Amino acid sequence: MILRQSFRQPIGYRKTLLVLQTCFLRHHSDSMLLPEAKPIPESVSSWIEAMKRTRNVETDRVDLSRVTQLYCTLPNRDPSNDSRSLPQEGDPLGLGHHLVLFPPLIPEKQLNADGTDPTYNSPPPFTRRMWAGGSFEFDPNHVIRVGEDVTCETTVSGVDVKASRTDTMIFVNQRRQIRNINGHTAITERRTHVFLRPPDGGMHSARSNALSLPGLLPSSP
């Protein structure tokens, strides 16, 4: 995993861009892909069209207690400053701390085997999900503050079907716009997941890979 942080601050105070890239597979590289994707089931084609129209809006509060717990959990990366004051109402939310907001409100039995949200998952046979890349863009002129009510609008900016040398891959590109109490976009987050067929070509459920440990997951009937 490569973490690159670039700051673009000319005379006019511009946006700060934090880009998170992975070494998994860059689907922008045409050299790794064949020109045409293999045929996909009609059910998957219908799902792709539905995803392109998806728009989900959530609300949350930047609760002081939750932010304080996160602040105490994260290490102090400034060795020259051992004392840090706890966050207060009205303080700007730390970069990246928005990830504690908008947790998926889904019953446990409907989550993926790894505990992730299945809302944007491809239907069978493309049940193997992997991370393909993402980015954060923070606007320093419109910040999120502790104690505010915030909203998150999630849309699917695109669904790309591409063929590797051995199989078909489906890339789902999410865009999450987090707005502060004044309605201004403070954070733009992009997430890309890739979905593939299981290694054995089967059509098992997303939860079938979970470890069968007593007390963790209910056994199948």
Instruction: Report if residue 141 sits inside a domain.
Output: yes
User: Does residue 130 sit within a domain?
Assistant: yes
pLDDT in tens, 147-172: 999 999 999 999 999 987 778 899 99
Mean pLDDT, residues 200-218: 43
162: containing domain = 2-74+85-196
Asked if residue 40 is part of any domain, the answer here is: yes
In order, the DSSP letters of the chain are: -EEEEEE---SS---EEEEEE-SS--TT-GGGSBSSPPP--HHHHHHHHHHHT-EEEEEEE--HHHHHHHHHHS----TT----PPP-TTPBPPTTGGGGSS-----GGGS-TTS---TTPPPTT--EEEEEEEEEEE-TTS--BTT-EEEEEEEEEEEEEEE-SSSEEEEEEEEEEEE-TTS-EEEEEEEEEEEE--TT-----TTTTS---TTTSPPP-
Residue 32 lies in a domain: yes
- pLDDT by residue (tens digit) across 19-68? 333 444 444 444 344 444 457 788 899 999 999 999 999 999 999 999 99
111 vs 213, more confident? 111
Q: With respect to residue 53, please indicate whether it lies within any of the assigned structural domains.
A: yes
Determine, yes or no, domain membership for 219. Answer: no
Number of independent structural domains in the chain: 1
What CATH number has the domain bearing residue 137? 3.10.129
Domain membership of residue 211 (yes or no) is no
162 within domain boundaries:
yes
